[in-house]
Structure 1
Amino acid sequence: MSPSPSDRARPGPPRFAVVGNPGNRRVSLFAEAVRGAGLPAPRVVPWREVLDGRYGFAPGEVVRLDSPGEDAEVDRLLRGADDPARVEGTAVWYRRFTRAAAGVAAAARGAGARLLDDPAELAVLFDKRRCHAVLEAAGVPVPGALGGAPVSGWQDLAGRLRERRLRRAFVKPAHGSSASGVMALEYAGPGRVVATTSVETGPGGALFNSLRVRRVEGEERVGALVDALAPDGLHVERWLPKASQDGRRADLRVVVVAGRATHAVVRTSRHPMTNLHLGGARGDLDAARRAVEAAGGSWAGALAVAERAAACFPGTLCVGVDLLPATGWRRFAVGEVNAFGDLLPRLTGLPGSGAEGLDTYAAQVAAVIGKEHHLCSTHPPRARSRA
């Protein structure tokens, strides 16, 4: 018996390809999620081959762009620095990465493959200044930021902080990630400045990432850091006082898959930066939800803020949104939207999200294959909230 036209048109299960570094934990976890869905392991296209132009895709492949991190040679090719711990070089990294991502998109389109990450959106996500502007224009609550001309150095920044009467600010490399080069700046006037940062100054003034957060005091020392980072581009925003949990500063990383907030974790720290690799610790999510509701806020409204931020990037399947709870847990702002913000091992989905029992990678696979956990079709978007 011949198959019906509808049977012939029915697509088979997707075949995944991942642009990533073999051995990268994110690539391994995604591959595990694909196999867990009963599909063949994804084909890994190494970033080295992409940067060398030695790659291609097959018709019908679903292509995931993953982080180019955790490979010293790839980092050297992207940043031109021999030491992966160096902070400088992010502007060069950005130009080369976005150019390579655009090339992947062109190759995927030419082969009839489907890309899960829009390279034009990645270019915005990896520029904190552009990302902040897109969010603000869409009405997403964000910390106030210094606009205008790029910050040229410490004297320029100090003058603009005085003009705005801004005593506390976060100074971030425009193209950085994982808090690399970030400074929580307290500026009380000429000569009275303190920066909390993980940046370490090496021989000759070179800057390196460190896993130890430290205080740098004095205008000369802090100014030298700003002067060294400014050529790569800086994003400067108001330092919002954050809520606390058990005496530690707290914020939320919310993973949004296919428009739906599926996973969330509380991050707590004694320092202004709550990144887990800098000594931050996972907090109590249930306690955070109770705190929001006790303050008269809405937990669903808080998640809706993260979804509104993700909605600014409809061509990107998954983003990690850093949600900043104001003191008292009643209101929220978006600190950052991360293209590769889904590395939360063993964390399963939020109740009612459609991703219950799934980790962040399994939720993405489910969204692509459209089975019982298809997040778009089974769960309408939440109503907008002014949380």
Structure 2
Amino acid sequence: MALSIPYRIMESCEQPYLLIANPSNKRTAGLQAARAKLGLAPAAVLSYEQLLSGDACIGDALRKLAGRGDIIIRLDAPGENPAVERQLIAWGAPDRNGDDMFWSGGSLPNSISIVSSEALLLPPEHGRIWHPAQWYRGYCRFLAAMQREVKASGARAYWVNSPGSIAKMFDKRTCWQLFERHGLQLPALPAAAGSIKSYEELRAAIATSGMKRLFIKLACGSGAAGVIAYQTNPRTGEELAITTIGSEQASSGFSFYNAGRLRRYSDAKDIRRIVDWVCGEGAHIERWIEKESFEGKAFDVRQLVVNGKACHTVARLSHTPITNLHLRNERSMDMKRLLPEDVRQAVQQTAEKALRAFPGSSAAGVDVLVQRGSSATYPIDINPFGDLLYGAEYEGMNTYEWQMRQLLRKE
């Protein structure tokens, strides 16, 4: 029976550790290097591609590891692999059966979905954002399958982050609702979470709420993909959208991609097109709160939390409203220069409280916004795979070394 609790403390270095990941990924390399440095046996690795295609079974892997103690299972990021992306889109297709216990979006409209056979033939176009809602549905189905198969195996196993908690973290609408339920201070919404489905509905929500500056986010996006910093001038009605989203005209309509750099749109037709696309795939929309700044750069904080305790911290600084490190923004580990002690503690406490909203998880990166002028802290995102923080150290260890070290400490 798989349990969703914080890391199980190791009795010896031989306790088996099973990693579900893309084997050639830098995350996998970082974790294995940390285990080697601490004298731990290499993690057994199951690839997403093999599991999704049916060429591997997690039950078989668990049986091979049986008899060596309780098994720790870590699900890592499925990204940066075109074959895995296609498989997940195929798993989420309307013509394919799957367990939708973690998916709350209902049926996918024909306008944003494709059948599984077409999904497997999607070309590898760099930056192209293919069917994000269907991808998320496929990942939810995969997570449900992993949970079911581990339970059926009878193995005594512990998830680092349970499949259900990972599915919830991937949906910004669900995250907002869970944060609110746990008493966290949050940016206000112009309308009920997930209720805005189009540009016209956005404009109506702005008129009703009076919010003129908003962040529009693809609900299941990451790495700034599908994020729009939107504002409208209350006097002239002019609009401005700052985003990584690019679009191209094709024979079948417009396609959308992550440009990898920010673009500014002021033409209403362009803004309508990208907002309609994001909202059609599922959007989370919240008030734009001005971030604290340092030397003319706005910043927020990626705070890693492991076993309920804040550890590694990276500030993300940018001359733009969007601070994601994927956009080659500046990073800083010198938090003492950026924030006073009481605010740094508030950031850590906010992140720790945010992770407690997901009781099936023991490690996540929490993005915390510090409001300019008030020092109020807001959790604006949580990432179950948010521990790839280059250069960040805590007690002399990088993020993977720190997490593996927790396995060696007594309870």
Indicate the TM-score class for this superposition, using the shorter chain for normalisation.
Answer: 0.7 to 0.9
Question: Higher RCO, 1 or 2 (CA under 8 Å, sep at least 6)?
Answer: 2
Instruction: Give the TM-score taking structure 2 as reference length.
Output: 0.82
After superposition, the C-alpha distances for 1:86-119 in whole angstroms (9 at most, x for unaligned) are 2241111111111111222223332413221111
Deviation at 1:162, TM superposition (A): 1.4
2:37 is matched with which residue? 36
Residues in 2 aligned to 1:328 and 1:165: alpha-carbon distance in whole angstroms: 22
> Any idea what SS the aligned residue of 2:186 has?
coil
Q: What amino acid maps onto 2:358 in structure 1?
A: F
1:235 is matched with which residue? 284
Q: What amino acid maps onto 1:344 in structure 2?
A: L
Residues in 2 aligned to 1:158 and 1:25: alpha-carbon distance in whole angstroms: 42
1:73 counterpart = 2:94: no
1:279 counterpart = 2:337: no
1:384 is matched with which residue? none
Deviation at 1:66, TM superposition (A): 0.5
**Paired residues for 1:57-68 under 5 Å:** 57-58=61-62, 59=66, 60-68=70-78
> Number of residue pairs matched?
353
1:131 counterpart = 2:175: yes
Q: CA RMSD in A?
A: 1.9
Deviation at 1:148, TM superposition (A): 5.5
After superposition, the C-alpha distances for 1:37-88 in whole angstroms (9 at most, x for unaligned) are 2111111101011112322232333111001111111111123343352224
Residues in 1 aligned to 2:32 and 2:362: alpha-carbon distance in whole angstroms: 16
Aligned partner (choices 297, 303, 306) of residue 257 of structure 1 = 306
**Unaligned segments of structure 1, at least 5 residues:** 1-9, 350-355, 378-387
Deviation at 1:30, TM superposition (A): 0.9
1:202 is matched with which residue? 248
2:20 is matched with which residue? 19
Aligned partner (choices 340, 358, 369) of residue 292 of structure 1 = 340
Deviation at 1:181, TM superposition (A): 0.9
> Any idea what SS the aligned residue of 2:200 has?
helix
CA contact (8 A) 1:117 1:316 kept: yes
Instruction: Give the TM-score taking structure 1 as reference length.
Output: 0.86
Residues in 2 aligned to 1:149 and 1:358: alpha-carbon distance in whole angstroms: 39
> Any idea what SS the aligned residue of 1:213 has?
strand
Residues in 2 aligned to 1:183 and 1:149: alpha-carbon distance in whole angstroms: 16
Deviation at 1:286, TM superposition (A): 3.4
1:47 is matched with which residue? 48
**Unaligned segments of structure 2, at least 5 residues:** 1-9, 90-118
Residues in 1 aligned to 2:382 and 2:164: alpha-carbon distance in whole angstroms: 15
Shift in CA distance, 130/148, structure 1 to aligned 2, threshold 3 Å: closer
Shift in CA distance, 164/288, structure 1 to aligned 2, threshold 3 Å: farther
2:165 is matched with which residue? 121
> Any idea what SS the aligned residue of 2:145 has?
helix
Shift in CA distance, 61/251, structure 1 to aligned 2, threshold 3 Å: same
Deviation at 1:202, TM superposition (A): 1.8
Residues in 1 aligned to 2:166 and 2:199: alpha-carbon distance in whole angstroms: 29
Could you tell me the percent identity over the aligned residues? 30
Deviation at 1:284, TM superposition (A): 5.3
1:361 counterpart = 2:362: no
Deviation at 1:24, TM superposition (A): 0.6
1:339 is matched with which residue? 384
Residues in 2 aligned to 1:346 and 1:72: alpha-carbon distance in whole angstroms: 28
**Paired residues for 1:109-258 under 5 Å:** 109=151, 110-112=153-155, 113-145=157-189, 146-147=191-192, 150-188=195-233, 192-204=238-250, 205-258=254-307
> Any idea what SS the aligned residue of 2:84 has?
helix
